[in-house]
Amino acid sequence: MDRITISVGGMTCGGCVKSVERALGNQPGVVASKAALENQNVSVEFDSALVTAAQLEQAIRKAGFSVPA
């Protein structure tokens, strides 16, 4: 398993945290995700044979949030 922390822009409440976690949880290969409102990021544990970091970032964007460079 791989782990990555991704910065997330636009999270303003607990509902946003759940939305980010749900979007990532729907991706194949994601074992766990934990978003942190105060840090504006999400930690993801995933199988890199099934999903890439770029795909995880795209899922966050599709959920309506930004991924700052």
Cα distance between residue 1 and residue 38, in whole Å: 26
What is the pTM (predicted TM-score) of this model? 0.93
Phi first, then psi: give them for residue 40, nearest 5 degrees: 55, 45
pLDDT digits (tens, 9 = 90+) for 5-62: 999 999 999 999 999 999 999 999 999 999 999 999 999 999 999 999 999 999 999 9
Q: Which domains are assigned to the chain?
A: 2-62 (3.30.70.100)
Distances (CA, A) of 69 to 6, 11, 28, 47: 10, 16, 24, 23
